[in-house]
């Protein structure tokens, strides 16, 4: 039996009821009779219906129906859930929104594992930007389907990460992808974004407890290298506080590892690596590493590092914004002016043909995600416009100097306490190059610092093809695991490793979440893991 709780535009429920005279207020319980009051005479698309059915709460708005999930500990948060059949109809899917008060809404899309979902780890994937939708990862890199035919169709992805993992794709912060705010407010710092993602995970796992007992891995790319340490830090800290609130009904999120690909994490170290990569890397853009152009570029590093140090010493917008403005303009400028794809030094970029980000598939994703039928299936307001990357969000983060702060500090305690760290980087990426990523990992202050500093560089051979996919350095793992601090260089890959090397990316991800060394001999590893989908 259904119980109608309300029949009003969501934003007007409380004020309208409070403003209406008592004799004009009618609530219908225990039936489905229409409400006979002019107060409720609104177009169907603008109405909001709420009801209970079979012990669950539902809501209908914009003509779309969702299950509504709430949690007593998170009074300002609600989860709206629907079940699409797009992309890969063979697996269970959920999509919808985390509503933060009535004003802010984060979109998610979840895919169950193709293999033993009840035993598979849970992975959350975030793209970077800042301001870019995780639909890029879903439809262009590691999701169950690949965008095709100019955005008119998708094709099955045999190398999807949900081959052996349950995967959540989340558009965050607000105003990214399908995520939006009603009141025009924005999130412009990673710490605030981290709190919202923690609330999402608590509501998601309270609704789907079958995934709560599995290891949870936070994975991201690019600016996700800044997001994820903040998110992981919130989860780790809240887990530590759980014993103090035993009756709060909170779930311990089994944070097992942090995975970051071609990430922007420690700009003090990574900015200094740009001249080395552009002048002496595997795909140099200058002919003479000792020439005038390289010398001019290297001369910018001391000022950049001095400004970043000031940002970290005072941790304020007044000191961090100058660092962001100077370092980005002085050290990234040659990359943008090179005529090459900044995310793949092997490829030229014609922005008129390839789009502003040098991948025409970004435009295809926008075409697909703006299809009214796709929106309806995913539980998205048909009036909501999708953009692959929101440059206003990008600018807002830069004008807070967010990327210049000391993000690696957030990782130390959790790694010392057993949360594992995987950093991987394609060797053709100019924006977040592998040299800088390896160097900041070498300096990361954990109990594994000394061991990692002397760790040898070893070959990584994929299990299915036997191809040398890259190199690995690792500390921890007691000689039998994938390591506690591990760095991987991926050959012949740019910024988006799962796009350029899909087989290798899946091989790496599966071994990591199953704690199997990437350096393990193929014949030894084969019986240990069901690699049928790789």
What positions carry a catalytic annotation? 222, 429, 495
**Separation between Cα atoms, residue 95 and residue 93, nearest integer Å:** 7
The DSSP bridge partners found for residue 260 are: 220, 423
Do 176 and 82 touch, CB atoms closer than 8 A? Answer: no
Do 408 and 266 touch, CB atoms closer than 8 A? Answer: yes
CB atoms within 10 A of CB 422: 26
* Integer CA distances (angstroms), 17 to 11, 20, 21, 24, 139, in order: 11, 5, 8, 9, 43
* Integer CA distances (angstroms), 404 to 157, 308, 391, 434, 494, in order: 36, 6, 19, 18, 23
User: Which segments of 251-397 are extended strands (E)?
Assistant: 255-261, 340-341, 344-348
Please name the residues in contact with 406: beta carbons below 8 A apart, sequence gap of 6 or more: 266, 268, 312
**Separation between Cα atoms, residue 58 and residue 49, nearest integer Å:** 8
* Integer CA distances (angstroms), 157 to 134, 196, 363, 450, 469, in order: 16, 30, 19, 40, 20
Q: Is 243 exposed, middle or buried (0-12, 13-18, 19+ CB in 10 A)?
A: exposed
* Residue entry with tokens 């033993």: 116
**Separation between Cα atoms, residue 367 and residue 149, nearest integer Å:** 10
**Separation between Cα atoms, residue 109 and residue 92, nearest integer Å:** 11
Strand pairing category for 122-126 and 216-221: parallel
For residue 526, give the DSSP letter.
Answer: G
Concatenated DSSP letters of 420-478: EEEEEEETT-STT-HHHHHHHHHH--STTHHHHHTPPPEEEE-TTT--EEEEEEEE-GG
Please name the residues in contact with 304: beta carbons below 8 A apart, sequence gap of 6 or more: 271, 272, 323, 326, 327, 330, 331
Two tokens, residue 281: 């890397």
Do 172 and 197 touch, CB atoms closer than 8 A? Answer: yes
């Amino acid at each position: 039996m259904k119980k109608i709780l309300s029949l009003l535009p969501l934003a007007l429920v409380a004020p309208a009821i409070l403003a209406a005279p008592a004799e004009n207020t009618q609530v219908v319980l225990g039936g489905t009779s229409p409400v006979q009051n002019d107060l409720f005479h609104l177009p169907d698309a603008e109405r909001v219906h709420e009801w209970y059915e079979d012990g669950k709460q539902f809501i209908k708005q914009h003509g779309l129906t969702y299950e509504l999930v709430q949690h007593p500990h998170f009074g300002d948060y609600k989860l709206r859930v629907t079940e699409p059949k797009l992309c890969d109809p063979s697996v269970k899917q959920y999509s919808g929104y985390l509503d933060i008060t009535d004003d802010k809404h984060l979109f998610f899309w979840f895919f169950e594992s193709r293999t033993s979902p009840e035993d598979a780890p849970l992975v959350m994937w975030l793209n970077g930007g800042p301001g870019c939708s995780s639909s890029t990862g879903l439809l262009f890199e590691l999701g169950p389907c690949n965008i095709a035919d100019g955005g008119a169709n998708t094709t099955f992805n045999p190398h999807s990460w949900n081959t052996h993992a349950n995967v959540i794709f989340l558009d965050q912060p607000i105003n990214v992808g399908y995520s939006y705010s009603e009141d025009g407010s924005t999130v412009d710092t990673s710490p605030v974004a981290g709190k919202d993602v923690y609330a999402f995970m608590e509501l998601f796992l309270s609704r789907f407890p079958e995934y709560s007992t599995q290891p949870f891995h936070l994975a991201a790319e690019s600016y996700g290298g800044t997001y994820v340490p903040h998110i992981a830090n919130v989860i780790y800290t809240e887990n530590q506080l759980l014993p103090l609130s035993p009756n709060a009904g909170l779930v311990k999120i089994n944070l097992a590892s942090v995975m970051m690909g071609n990430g922007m994490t420690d700009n003090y170290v990574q900015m200094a690596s740009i001249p080395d990569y552009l002048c002496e890397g595997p795909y140099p853009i200058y002919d003479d590493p000792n020439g005038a152009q390289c010398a001019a570029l290297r001369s910018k590093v001391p000022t950049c590092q001095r400004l970043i140090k000031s940002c970290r010493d005072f941790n304020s917008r007044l000191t961090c914004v100058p660092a962001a403005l100077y370092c980005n303009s002085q050290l990234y400028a040659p990359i943008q002016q090179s005529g090459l794809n900044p995310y793949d030094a092997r490829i030229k970029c014609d922005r008129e043909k390839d789009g502003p980000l040098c991948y025409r598939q970004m435009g295809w994703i926008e075409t697909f995600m703006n299809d009214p039928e796709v929106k309806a299936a995913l539980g998205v307001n048909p009036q909501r416009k999708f953009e692959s990357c929101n440059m206003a969000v990008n600018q807002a983060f830069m004008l807070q100097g967010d990327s210049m702060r000391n993000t690696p500090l957030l990782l130390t305690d959790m790694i010392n306490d057993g949360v594992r760290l995987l950093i991987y980087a394609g060797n053709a990426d100019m924006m977040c190059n592998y040299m800088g990523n390896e160097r900041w990992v070498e300096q990361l202050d954990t109990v594994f610092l000394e061991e990692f500093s002397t760790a040898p560089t070893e070959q990584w051979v994929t299990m299915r093809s036997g191809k040398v996919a890259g190199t690995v350095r690792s500390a921890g793992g007691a000689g039998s695991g994938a390591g506690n601090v591990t760095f991987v260089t991926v050959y012949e890959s740019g910024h988006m490793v799962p796009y350029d090397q899909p087989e290798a990316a899946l091989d790496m991800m599966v071994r990591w979440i199953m704690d199997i060394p990437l350096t393990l001999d193929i014949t030894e590893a084969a019986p240990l893991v069901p690699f049928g989908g790789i």
